[in-house]
Structure 1
Amino acid sequence: MTSTTWLALGAIAIGGAAIATQAPINSRLGNHMGDPVMAAAISFGVGFLVLLVLAVLRGALPAAITAAADVPWWAWTGGALGAVYVWASIWSVSTLGVVTLVAALIFGQLTAALILDAVGAFGMTMREISWTRLAAVGFVGVGLILSRL
């Protein structure tokens, strides 16, 4: 594997650890706020501020404002999809626990990813649904079941 591939794997592994850590932290916020939707809004607000500061520090804001006019309508829905995840994790982590939550998250991601790859959704390169990819999703599904035993 190339160094770029290793860096990408490392970055996404750190992102995965952040997601696992985010769920119980946001759940605690939801408990204090008394409302998981409000906690999700606060979480997104804090994340927005952090990313906005980084964008300003990098000098990316003026170009982004200009480029926004050419963005396809569906490209604006990513934040809404992220909001669904944050709300769902706040609402369910105390019932499921972090391991089962993450297993279900990954199972859902892989199932959707198989379909998105197969149809080449959103301009991605089409990739066939092979038996090895199905097995990978199946193993995660078995792990999800085992996490509840």
Structure 2
Amino acid sequence: MWFFYGLALMAGIANAVQSGVNATLAKNLAQPFAAGIVISLVGATTLLAVGLILGRFAPPSMSDIRAVPHWAWLGGMMGALLILSQLYVAQRIGAAPYLGLLVTAGVVTSILLDHFGWVGFEQHPVSLWRICGGLLMIAGIALVAMF
């Protein structure tokens, strides 16, 4: 279990660094959408290479593809939105407010997703402590953004 927490922490660090890296790529290429495509292609190539190296990649069957809920195909569009926000927003508002907003919005949204069991998550009812945690995240990002 600790491996997964460590991986999540590393992904959080990468997310913070990635915003600046991606925005710098867009600025130097002078083409944010071209940078977004490069970022996506490098990401896809990395996933393919790691999957092949670990022996964990196999193309899905047609029955697997048909079994996917319609909403599950939207993840790629959401990934593109994340990349576009990195390219256009991160350097303009700063790393801390950007990542703070990103994480806070994610935490507040995840409380709702857990409570209702939406998009494949197991149901975890909202509690006073979860609400307090979400409110503290909102207060924290307000402080980071203001100062």
Q: TM-score, normalised by structure 1?
A: 0.88
Percent identity, please: 24
Report what 1:30 is aligned to.
26
In structure 1, the gaps of 5 or more residues are none
Report what 2:12 is aligned to.
16
CA RMSD of aligned residues (A): 1.5
- How is 1:130-141 mapped onto 2 (pairs within 5 angstroms)? 130-141=127-138
Q: Which runs of 4+ in 1 moved over 6 A?
A: none
- How is 1:39-58 mapped onto 2 (pairs within 5 angstroms)? 39-58=35-54
Counterpart selection for 2:125 from 121, 128, 131:
128
Report what 1:65 is aligned to.
60
TM-fit CA distance, 1:139: 1.2
How many corresponding residue pairs? 144
Q: Which amino acid aligns with 1:39?
A: A
Q: Tell me, in whole angstroms, the C-alpha distance in 2 between the residues paired with 1:145 and 1:29.
A: 29
Question: Residue 125 of structure 1 aligns to a residue in which SS?
Answer: coil
In structure 2, the gaps of 5 or more residues are none
TM-fit CA distance, 1:16: 0.3
Report what 2:110 is aligned to.
113
Q: Which amino acid aligns with 1:71?
A: V
Q: Which amino acid aligns with 2:86?
A: S
Question: Residue 116 of structure 1 aligns to a residue in which SS?
Answer: helix
TM-fit CA distance, 1:106: 0.8
